[in-house]
Amino acid sequence: MPEPIMTTAHESGGLRGRRVLVTGGSKGVGRAVASRLAAAGATVVAAARKDPGNLPPAVHFVSADLSTADGCAELATAATDLLGGIDVLINNVGAGTPPPDGLLSASDDIWERTIQLNLLASVRLDRAVIPEMIARGSGAIIHVTSVGAYFPVGPDAPYEAAKAALSTYSKALANEFSGRGVRVNRISPGLIANDSVSALLARSTHGAPDDPGAQILEEWVRGIPLGRPGQPAEVADLISFLVSDQAAWITGSDFRIDGGSFQAV
């Protein structure tokens, strides 16, 4: 049996015993967040379509398809039953389908699937958990958007548009419910070295002149003042702070974490 991870009160930020749901929690930023909060003493449910089989023992996994209303409702029920309630919700799930031949080739189906997952999944889960948070007088919600919501940088405009809508919705949610004890913040990551990004960068490093994706990423990295992509753990550290007691007076805010790429001059 693995030894428990010990943290001090300062390190945990008051997260010990908090009940947390993380969507998109099987890999990348979501997995890093689930691991980070569990290490701080929280009880964590990570949700995704497929179980990666490599989550820390302290993290519970629930399979969920968040592209549908039924999938969101089933996850909210399952996580609440497992945890006995939800104190912290990390709306991290997201994915896009770049139109094959430019923006005008994006079909209604692409737009609808993108909006369902990147916007409505968060709306539906928020709707499910906020009433209980209000009843307790406390709760914390994070919406993971993207720098692409403010500065379209890639070939996937439907994804970036959905994330822009999520950002606006998140601010409105904070305005309405912060006075009732529910803090809502959003983070906008830049280029993060998840599995797919790391694979593309590796191809770029070893020379892939015919791979447009690798070329785009190589140019993006050259434009990052800190000179590298971010790591999922670095995003997890920011989220851990924002949902902790140390951030008790922070709500309705957007935090870009992008290595300096898109900061206002």
How far, in Å, CA of 45 to CA of 61, rounded? 6
Residue 263 lies in a domain: no
Which residues have a Cβ under 8 Å from the Cβ of 40 and sit 6 or more positions away?
7, 11, 12, 13, 15, 16, 240, 244
Tell me: do 187 and 201 sit in the same domain: no
pLDDT digits (tens, 9 = 90+) for 204-261: 555 555 556 666 677 778 888 998 899 999 999 999 999 999 999 999 999 999 999 8
Phi first, then psi, for residue 238 (nearest 5°) are -65, -45
Assess whether 166 and 250 both reside in one domain. yes
Task: Tell me, yes or no, whether 151 and 216 share the same domain.
Answer: no
Instruction: Identify whether residues 74 and 184 lie together within a single domain.
Output: yes
Residue 39 pLDDT more than 60? Answer: yes
Contacts of 258 (CB under 8 A, 6+ apart): 147, 188, 189, 190, 191, 224, 230
Q: List Cβ neighbours of 35 (8 Å cut-off, separation of 6 or more).
A: 55, 56, 59, 236
Q: Is residue 265 in some structural domain?
A: no
User: Is 213 in the same domain as 83?
Assistant: no
Strand (E) or helix (H) holding 31: helix 28-39
112 and 135 inside one domain: yes
| Number of domains into which the chain is organized | 2
Give pLDDT, residue 91. 98
Q: What is the CATH number of the domain that holds 69?
A: 3.40.50.720
Catalytic residue among 36, 144, 159, 182: 159
Q: What pLDDT, on the 0 to 100 scale, is given for residue 4?
A: 43
Residue 264, in any domain of the structure: no
| Number of other residues whose CB lies within 10 A of the CB of residue 14 | 17
pLDDT tops 90 at residue 118: yes
Q: How large a percentage of the chain has pLDDT more than 70?
A: 85
Structural domain boundaries enclosing 89? 9-192+231-257
- pLDDT tens for residues 139-195? 999 999 999 898 876 678 999 999 999 999 999 999 999 999 999 999 999 999 876
DSSP 131-152: HHHHHHT-EEEEEE--GGGTS-
Is residue 181 domain-shared with residue 120, that is, in the same domain? yes
Residue 2 inside a domain? The answer is no
The model's confidence at residue 203, banded by pLDDT at 50, 70 and 90, is low
Q: What is the pLDDT of residues 4-21, one digit of tens each?
A: 444 443 455 789 999 999
Q: What is the pLDDT of residues 130-139, one digit of tens each?
A: 999 999 999 9
Residue 169 is a catalytic residue: no
Tell me if 162 sits within 8 A of 115, measured CB to CB.
yes
Q: Are the CB atoms for 114 and 158 separated by under 8 Å?
A: yes
Residues 143 and 199 in one domain: no
237 domain residue, yes or no? yes
Whole-number pLDDT of residue 143: 98
221 and 237 belong to one structural domain: no
Q: Which pLDDT does position 74 carry in this prediction? A: 98
Same domain, 217 and 144: no
Based on the fold, state whether residues 102 and 158 are members of the same structural domain: yes
Q: Is residue 146 in some structural domain?
A: yes
